[in-house]
Amino acid sequence: MSYAFHRAASGQDGTARPAVGAALIALITRLHFYVGLFVGPFILVAAVTGTLFVLTPQIENRLYADQLYTDATGPAHSLTEQIAAARAVAGPHAALFAVRPAPRPGTTTRVLFKATGLQDSEHRGIFVDPVTLAIKGDLNVYGTSGTLPLRTTLDTLHRNLLLGDRGRNYSELAASWLWFAALGGIILWAYGRRRRAQLAATSSSARLRLRRLHSVIGLWIALGLFFLSATGLTWSRWAGGNINVVRQELGWVTPSVSTSLKPADAARPASGDVHDDGDGDGEHAAHSGGGEHMGHMAGAGRMGDAASMVHTAPEMSGANAYAGQFDRVLATARAAGIDAGEVEIRPPRKADQAWAVNEVDRSWPTQVDAIAIDGRDLSIVSRADFATFPLVAKLIRWGIDTHMGILFGWPNQLLMAAFGIALSIMVLLGYVMWWRRRPAPGSPVLTVTQAWGRLSAIPRGIAALVAAALGWSLPLMGASLLAFMLVDVLRWRLAARPRSGAYSRRPV
């Protein structure tokens, strides 16, 4: 990477270049080097864990086949009976969160309960055979996509290294710099292509082959790197909040249903964020930290009257008190156009809320419609149909699902895995290149500070404004840039001290 610094001073063909262009190239070269050296490990971990996540849906289905599938044939029992069977295992006081009816014959129903000790968006899932009412499994279920323990662990590893909110800084740091590393690499490649052609004609060293391979891989996956960076940032802790503010100001929010039955709230238009809960969208809160909004509604509707409820224990209240309404609510939703095989039914949490029925099939074609149903008279009080979403909201939905390897099934998985593997190779090649050209003792030190000092006032002011804007919108990028500069200034000051020894041609 350091060869660009020398070309910045003399030009590709040996002629002098304008000082501004040379200084800018030198500046980009040093920043590209720092990102690769210091942020590279975080990018590598994110690439490896993300690749493992997108490649494992089929493995998870095989691993938990006993819980997910059943050989029983015949008519299915009502949801009321299935919930009763699940409650016999969960206990009479377990808080019912939602029910996901068996999407097709041969699969099980998931009855989800709240439980202590679980992370946000994670619930205890009782898997019920809808034909025999046998309990097929008891597993934790995470997010809108309903991932099970194996992929939940991989998702959490990708999102925060199993370290909670503090660990989310690692993935945000990687996403914040990934686009810059890709852009800087493209600029350096374009600037030095004539020089590389001249060197290739006279040399076939391993160093040049490594550099060429690093550049070719980077160019092939550059668009994918911009995409992964942008979609990853929407789930981030600090930059994600700024992105949400911008989306609100521009009206790029994702429509969602309102479950409030209060007259004052009913007149208000509902809107929500694109992230689901926890996996990055519910799955990659990664992947996420935001609440889920498409298909994760804030509650669910008004309690039905006593006559509309099944027999329940007197101590049960809230969502546990009207399990008998699930069948009627589902029938109403089906009649209203909720036709996806995979749906989730959430009962009200309060007396002034409606039921929420959400499609959760985010493959192609995307089925994420949602409706809110008044439990008293089964009327539709709110709905959000994906077909009516603004284009930007649809693009955001598709972008997130593509990032997670969901949208187009296994082709999507293979594409994301290819990007992850290629990115991992690029990072490793960068370290090999640096190691082979690591500075010898007494070598001259090339720094960002030197390149900055060569800029004239106007380019320097523009660069400062760009850095400030990026630091505000991407806080971890700004904080790490300050750290880079502190290291750089220290290296520059140490290098400015008088030293003895021969001049080395192997700069850092």
DSSP string, 392-422: HHHHHHHHHHHHTT-TTSHHHHHHHHHHHHH
Which tokens belong to 117? Answer: 């000790």
Distance CA 195, CA 192 (A): 5
pLDDT at 265: 59
> What predicted TM-score, i.e. pTM, was given to this entire model?
0.83
DSSP assignment of 280-308: TTTTBSTT--SPP-TT--SS-BPPPPGGG
Provide the token pair at 87.
Answer: 């409650």
pLDDT beneath 70: ranges in the chain: 1-20, 194-204, 264-321, 439-444, 498-508
Amino acid letter for position 308: S
**Quick one: pLDDT at residue 291?**
36
Give the span between the Cα atoms of 80 and 356, in whole angstroms: 17
Which strands, in side-by-side order, build the sheet including 370-374?
135-142, 122-128, 109-113, 96-100, 343-346, 355-359, 370-374, 379-384
- pLDDT at position 497, please? 73
Determine the Cα–Cα distance for residues 432 and 435; give it in Å rounded to an integer.
Answer: 5
**Domain regions of the chain by residue span:** 60-142, 246-407
Predicted confidence at residue 432, as pLDDT, reads 93
At 199 the three-state DSSP class reads: helix
Q: Pairing relation of β-strands 343-346 and 135-142?
A: unpaired
Query: 219 by DSSP, 3-state: which?
Result: helix
